[in-house]
Amino acid sequence: MILWTPMQMELVLEGIENMTSPSYCQISYRGVSMLVEKTDGGRKRIARLLSTNPADYLNTDYTPGKYLDD
C-alpha cells in the first residue's frame, strides 16, 4: 500500500507501536458460520459472515458490527 501525504513519516506512524491487533475466532452462531472479534469486555462482535446461505446476509441480526447475545 502506498500512502501519499505531505506529513512527515514520524507523524503518520506515531503511536503505531502501541496498537494491538484484534483477536478473531470463527464460530457457528444459531447455525450461521461467522468470524467474530472478542472485545475487552468479553463480548463478541460480528466481523464477517462466512455463510453460504444468501438469506443470512439479509438478516439484520447478523450485520457486521453487531454484538452477539450470549
37-67 pLDDT tens trace: 988 888 899 999 999 999 999 999 999 999 9
- Taking CA atoms, 50 is separated from 3, 22, 54, 62, in Å, by 31, 18, 10, 11
Residue 12 lies inside a defined structural domain of this protein: no
Residue 51 lies inside a defined structural domain of this protein: yes
Residue 15 lies inside a defined structural domain of this protein: no
- Contacts of range 29-36, beta carbons closer than 8 Å, 24 or more positions apart: 29/68, 32/56, 32/62, 34/62, 36/68
Mean of pLDDT over the chain: 90
Residue 46 lies inside a defined structural domain of this protein: yes
Give the cell for residue 14: 506515531
Residue 62 lies inside a defined structural domain of this protein: yes
Domains: count for the chain? 1
- Structural domain containing residue 57: 21-70
Quick one: pLDDT at residue 70?
Answer: 66
Residue 14 lies inside a defined structural domain of this protein: no
Quick one: pLDDT at residue 15?
Answer: 87
